[in-house]
Amino acid sequence: MAVGELFLAAFLQVLFDRLASRELLNFARRYEGLGRKLDKWKHTLKGIQAVLQDAGEKQLDNDGRVEGWLDDLRDLAYDVEDILDEFATEVLLRKLKGGEDQGSTSKVRNLIPGCCTALTPSALRIRVRLGSKIKEITARFNDIVTRKDQLKLKETVDGRSSRGRGTLPTTSLVNEARVYGRKKDKEAIVQMLLSEKRSDADDAEVSVIPILGMGGVGKTTLAQLVYNDEKVQQFFNLKAWACVSEDFDAFRVTKTILKSVVSESSDESDLNDNDLNMLQVKLKEKLSGKKFLVILDDVWNENYHNWTILRAPFESGAPGSAIVITTRNQVVSSTTGSVPEYHLQVLSNDSCLSVFTQHALGASNFGRHPDLRDIGEKIVERCKGLPLAAKTLGGLLRTTLDHDKWEDVLESKIWDIPEERSGILPALMLSYHHLPSHLKRCFMYCSILPKDYEFEEQQLVRLWMAEGLIQPRDGDKQMEDLGSKYFHDLLSRSFFQH
């Protein structure tokens, strides 16, 4: 789903929440027919939201019809927002006046459509100004739904792609000669693993060291460097690597780790069980009294109960045993970690440049192609220190020495790169898809801010409040406090940077 469809999806969610708001429902009850129409709009929006993912994928493959449908839907959404703003203004006026006239406390019949009967001045004003608009919007909703069915757009679950694009799991292998700018980070993690204080601690609980950072910053690469370090290999009796990914499957992860352990002890008969309990019992036996290192890469699970189940076999290890996890979510880090997380920062510009040239030119610099240095440096500036971005853009230009093609990459937007040729879009979209809906719409609102814009927390929270993006429910905190929580939730998930 492209950025435009992401923003539209977030915008539709805002409209959906506004249509379900208590104040609007109370207002609509005063006018016969209005509540039913707003309720129908709400249900129609829900059905449209479910097909946006499919529409975003098909808009370039359907001779412009899906793209036209999305454009019309976007225009309709803006008009719905305008009319909801007018309703909100009426609600506010009533509050300022301290209530309505005696006659307005009863239902006013036939607001849309019908003949006039005993209308109060306020209701008559709404009827004249908004009646035709409501009728027009209802007709446009019906047209959108009809065209949706004609285009055979399919519903998707939780905003995930219906085409089932997969991502290969990570492995422990790495070419250290092609990694730049991570020497100090590697030494810091290795030092934490080999620390005598940690190994000799009275508390026998296995240490869990989280590596935290935004998508594409190089957490997996750092874990690979640590895993293959010579001192680490000598220090630990057993090592295992498991890519956890977004689908937290304790059975699969346990079996993967057991395979690593069993392969070293040459006893594959332990892998035949398909029962989590038996697998964990066998893993506990293999780890008992051994000093082990387990890398759990790309962890998303925030559920503490699930985490305790997965880590149960590790409690039998010898003092000094450790688990290293990589995650982009501070909640995961807090849930799993036994020590403060190691926050991985972006690369320096020089290191990022070396990553780019390695993948674009097969060298660590522009020594053999000095004519491309200036434009290459400008491309790397757009990577903002993310090695994944530098690798992807370098890969697009691999073996291409045409200055015009390099210029095209410089001028293109990262979102314009075909997904099948880019690791960036899936990496960033994965973070977005894992957001709850209220955080999705707040984050997508930030797309209207200028590039590289620096903002304060309170400033952004007030903008969200002004746009109706913060909708407190019964028992919720004050709106400002709720907005602050939203801000820090996004910060903890690496969507914002200090």
CATH of the domain at 301: 3.40.50.300
Residue 106 backbone phi and psi in degrees, to 5: -95, 165
Residue 250 sits in the same domain as residue 307? yes
Residue 226 falls inside a structural domain: yes
State residue 102's pLDDT score.
40
Contacts 24+ apart (CB under 8 A), 14-22: 14/441, 14/467, 14/468, 14/469, 15/45, 15/77, 15/80, 15/81, 15/84, 16/42, 16/45, 16/46, 16/49, 17/471, 18/84, 18/468, 18/471, 19/45, 19/84, 21/471
Residue 264 falls inside a structural domain: yes
Residue 321 sits in the same domain as residue 400? no
Residue 36 sits in the same domain as residue 135? yes
Helices then strands (H, E): number in the chain?
A: 22, 5
**Token digits of residue 244:** 């956890």
Residue 174 falls inside a structural domain: no
Report the C-alpha gap between 3 and 416 in whole angstroms.
Answer: 10
**Cβ 360 vs Cβ 353: under 8 Å:** no
Q: pLDDT category, 16, cuts 50, 70, 90?
A: confident
Residue 336 sits in the same domain as residue 210? yes
Region 131-141: what's the mean pLDDT?
A: 88
Residue 318 sits in the same domain as residue 419? no
pTM: 0.68
Residue 468 falls inside a structural domain: yes
Task: Give per-residue pLDDT as tens, 149-189.
Answer: 888 888 765 444 444 445 678 899 999 989 999 999 999 99
> Closest Cα partner for 1 from 439, 441, 432?
432
**Cβ 265 vs Cβ 283: under 8 Å:** no
425, 444, 474: which is the final residue of a domain? 425
Residue 42 sits in the same domain as residue 132? yes
Residue 457 falls inside a structural domain: yes
Residue 194 falls inside a structural domain: no
Element (H, E) at 292: strand 292-299
> Closest Cα partner for 287 from 237, 337, 212?
237
Let me know how long the chain is: 498
Please say if the pLDDT value at position 292 is more than 90. Answer: yes
Residue 412 sits in the same domain as residue 446? no
Residue 167 falls inside a structural domain: no
**Cβ 348 vs Cβ 386: under 8 Å:** no
Q: In what order do the strands lie in the sheet with 238-245?
A: 238-245, 292-299, 322-327, 207-212, 342-343
Residue 130 sits in the same domain as residue 225? no
Total domains present in the chain: 4
Task: Give per-residue pLDDT as tens, 347-370.
Answer: 999 999 999 999 999 898 998 899
**Cβ 43 vs Cβ 138: under 8 Å:** no
Which structural domain, as residue segments, surrounds residue 310?
206-343
Residue 213 sits in the same domain as residue 298? yes
Residue 56 backbone phi and psi in degrees, to 5: -60, -35
Report the C-alpha gap between 193 and 189 in whole angstroms.
Answer: 6
314, 343, 372: which is the final residue of a domain? 343
Residue 40 sits in the same domain as residue 142? yes
Residue 382 sits in the same domain as residue 316? no
Residue 297 sits in the same domain as residue 363? no
Report the C-alpha gap between 244 and 227 in whole angstroms.
Answer: 16
User: Is the model more confident about 164 or about 80?
Assistant: 80
113, 135, 150: which is the final residue of a domain? 150
Report the C-alpha gap between 290 and 303 in whole angstroms.
Answer: 28
Please say if the pLDDT value at position 92 is more than 50. Answer: yes
Residue 343 DSSP SS3: strand
Report the C-alpha gap between 239 and 7 in whole angstroms.
Answer: 44
Please say if the pLDDT value at position 457 is more than 60. Answer: yes
Residue 192 falls inside a structural domain: no
